[in-house]
């Protein structure tokens, strides 16, 4: 299976990890903010227990120390976390690394870390977090995919299922989805929609 999967939900709780795992999602990012080291380690350990023995791959957001201790396999870092992280320790632990980018300078920083994938965002306006970056738009996906070549490109930010075909066509290898799942009136049906389309498009 390619990593990350074409449909790449990002959630903030163990309940969501469990729900998505049961639905057959292949790549799930756990992004929970403001945890101390102990809380982070407990949450990562619990999430790994949920996905163990299933096809789901758990991606730990930010908490690289917890990811190493809990023996996770996948890690995602934002730019601020990347600046503080011990990349040598992360690589020695065998963690696959994805990095968030929002502009050209951040892309250069990310590529210097030799990531396993690069995330570009926000593609569209998003209300989930205050962004100091303007929406990138779909044409930026094509431009960045040319620049990074074989490295998988993940599009993120305000993306709904109805826009997926256009975003894949523009060059994205994967789409990270937050509100289109977590704030959907029928999340399970939406996930199945994404899974069906992603499988067809793969």
In a domain, 1, yes or no: no
SS (H, E, C) 60-112: EECCHHHHHHCCCCEEEECHHHHHHCCHHHHHHCCCEEEEEECCHHHHHHHHH
Q: Would residue 2 count as lying in a domain?
A: no
The CATH number covering residue 170 comes to: 3.20.20.70
Mean pLDDT of the chain: 94
C-alpha of 104 from chain center: 19
Round to whole Å and give the CA distance between 48 and 194: 23
Query: Cis omega (within 30 of 0) on the bond before 79?
Result: no
Q: Does 111 fall in a domain?
A: yes
63-109 pLDDT per residue, tens: 999 999 999 999 999 999 999 999 999 999 999 999 999 999 999 99
pLDDT tens across 18-53, in order?
A: 999 999 999 999 999 999 999 999 999 999 999 999
Range of the domain at 82: 7-201
Q: Would you say residue 142 lies in a domain?
A: yes
| pLDDT at residue 197 tops 80 | no
Is there a contact between 31 and 11 (Cβ–Cβ < 8 Å)?
yes
Question: How crowded is residue 200: how many other Cβ atoms within 10 Å of its Cβ?
Answer: 9
Per the model's pLDDT, the better-predicted residue between 200 and 144 turns out to be 144
Sign, CA torsion 138/139/144/146: positive
Answer yes or no: is 29 within a domain: yes
Total count of domains within the chain: 1
Higher-pLDDT residue of 33 and 134 is 33
Which percentage of the chain shows pLDDT scores above 70? Answer: 94
């Amino acid at each position: 299976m390619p990593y990350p999967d074409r449909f790449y939900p990002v959630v903030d709780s163990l309940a969501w990890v469990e729900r998505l795992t049961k639905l057959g999602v292949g790549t799930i990012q756990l992004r929970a903010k403001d945890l101390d080291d102990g809380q982070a380690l407990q949450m990562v350990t619990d999430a790994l227990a949920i996905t163990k023995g299933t096809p789901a791959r758990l991606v730990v957001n930010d908490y690289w120390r917890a990811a190493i201790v809990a023996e996770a396999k996948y890690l995602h870092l934002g730019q601020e976390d990347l600046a503080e992280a011990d990349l040598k320790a992360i690589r020695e632990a065998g963690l696959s690394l994805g990095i968030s980018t929002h502009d050209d300078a951040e892309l250069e920083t990310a590529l210097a870390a030799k990531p396993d994938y690069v995330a570009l965002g926000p593609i569209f306006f998003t209300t989930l977090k205050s962004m100091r970056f303007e929406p990138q738009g779909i044409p930026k996906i094509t431009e960045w995919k040319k620049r990074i070549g074989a490295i998988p490109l993940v599009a993120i930010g305000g993306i709904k299922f109805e826009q997926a075909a256009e975003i894949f066509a523009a060059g994205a290898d994967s789409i990270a989805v937050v509100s289109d799942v977590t704030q959907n009136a029928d999340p399970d049906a939406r996930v199945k929609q994404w899974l069906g389309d992603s499988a067809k498009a793969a």
